[in-house]
Amino acid sequence: MADELDYTFQAMGSEIRMLIGDRLLRTAPPALEAADREKAYVLDFGRRLSRFIPDSELSALNGDPGRVVPASGLLRAAVAAGLWAAQRSGGLIDPTVLTALVRSGYDHSLDGVAPASLTDALKHAPPRTAARPDPARRWQQVSIDDAAGVVERPPGIAIDTGGTGKGLCADAVAVHLAGYSRFVVDCGGDIAVGGIGAQLRPYVIEVEHPLTQASIGQIAVSRGGIATSGLNVRIWRRPDGSFAHHLLDPSTGEPAWSGLIGATAVAETALAAETLSKTALLLGASGAREVLAEHGGVVVHDSGEVEVIGPVSFEPSSAADSSPVAG
């Protein structure tokens, strides 16, 4: 819409986009001022929680030899989000797989690095199977004490907040924008939608095909969250010639090849949508149908076939809206 601010910048290895409508509260700053404020918040969020920055709070936590480690409110919230996702996914989204992720080749930021060919990767991928949780369930050994301001975990367990961080960030910014008529916060595909105006006139979110990057279609969202997880964005070729990506099977520590290459989920928050989309992709088609049944979603099979699941408001890509958001 012409009356909405459209604001985009780069952070956390992704494009961040905000659409902000009219002010509902007189105390709310103009949309551009609010967007500048939220940009500073997102940049700070990403810097403090990056595992690729040696002096970040997350790096300090992972490098501390003690069992009980002082942690800021932001770091505790990020760790808590990872543990919540682990609980909701039955251990499939495991924030303690960082060591395996590094061993797989994701030991440096892939920001600006062209991904390997997903088509080639599928040709050489192992037999498809649903991911399973790690029987050790090390994430259950991690705890947070907000009163004491600490994170507790056995020394040597490294935590990765990257799997849930963008959803958590999108939800936090959405809370900050509650004084506006309608808004969208897109943190690299983890999207929060809010405002009374969005309930009257929903946003339309574009969903891309992982193989072609063409639009699959559009999902109307009036509030809550929507997120897409796919194998095409962070995929690389290892020195031995095999392909790897960032979504691991916790039971093996190796990239998951479940028969799905993309999953989009709708949920009550961006964090919940991110959790459901990743869980669906890791489980494969049969599990995805169960996971996405309540709120709905879309999955893409290895073959390229698109499957719509549950009560999602999905329209062909030819349908247009005055304020689309790429998801």
* pLDDT tens for each residue of 62-90: 999 999 999 999 999 999 999 999 999 99
The pLDDT-based confidence of 111 (bands split at 50, 70, 90) is: confident
Q: Which residues contact 100 (CB under 8 A, 6 or more apart)?
A: 248, 253, 254
Residues 82 and 91: their CA atoms lie apart, in Å, by 10
Parallel, antiparallel, or unpaired for β 203-208 and 324-326?
parallel
pLDDT, tens digit, 9 for 90 and up, residues 145-158: 999 999 999 999 99
Residues 11 and 9: their CA atoms lie apart, in Å, by 7
Q: Specify the CATH class of 5-326 in words.
A: alpha beta
What pLDDT is stored for residue 316 in this prediction?
A: 67
Query: What residue segments make up the domains of the chain, in order of their start?
Result: 5-326
For residue 139, what are its two tokens?
């994430």
For residue 126, what are its two tokens?
């192992």
More confident residue, 193 or 111: 193
* Cα–Cα distances in angstroms (integers) from residue 264 to residues 87, 184, 204, 218, 228, in the given order: 20, 17, 14, 11, 4
Q: Residue 3, class by beta-carbon neighbours within 10 Å (0-12 exposed, 13-18 middle, 19+ buried)?
A: exposed
What pLDDT is stored for residue 324 in this prediction?
A: 44
Assess whether pLDDT exceeds 80 at residue 134: yes
* Cα–Cα distances in angstroms (integers) from residue 225 to residues 62, 136, 325, in the given order: 30, 31, 13
pLDDT, tens digit, 9 for 90 and up, residues 202-213: 999 999 999 999
Helix, strand, coil tally for the chain in percent (to 5):
30, 25, 40
What mean pLDDT value characterizes the chain?
94
What pLDDT is stored for residue 3 in this prediction?
A: 81
What value does the mean pLDDT take over residues 164-185? Answer: 97
- DSSP class per residue in 84-113: HHHHHTTTSS-TT-HHHHHHTT--S--TTP
Assess whether pLDDT exceeds 60 at residue 114: yes
Are the beta carbons of 57 and 161 closer than 8 angstroms? Answer: no
pLDDT, tens digit, 9 for 90 and up, residues 291-327: 999 999 999 999 999 999 999 989 867 643 434 444 3
pLDDT, tens digit, 9 for 90 and up, residues 1-26: 458 999 999 999 999 999 999 999 88
**pLDDT more than 70, % of the chain:** 96
What value does the mean pLDDT take over residues 261-279? Answer: 98
Q: Residue 317, class by beta-carbon neighbours within 10 Å (0-12 exposed, 13-18 middle, 19+ buried)?
A: middle
Residues 205 and 288: their CA atoms lie apart, in Å, by 20
**pLDDT more than 90, % of the chain:** 91
What pLDDT is stored for residue 102 in this prediction?
A: 95
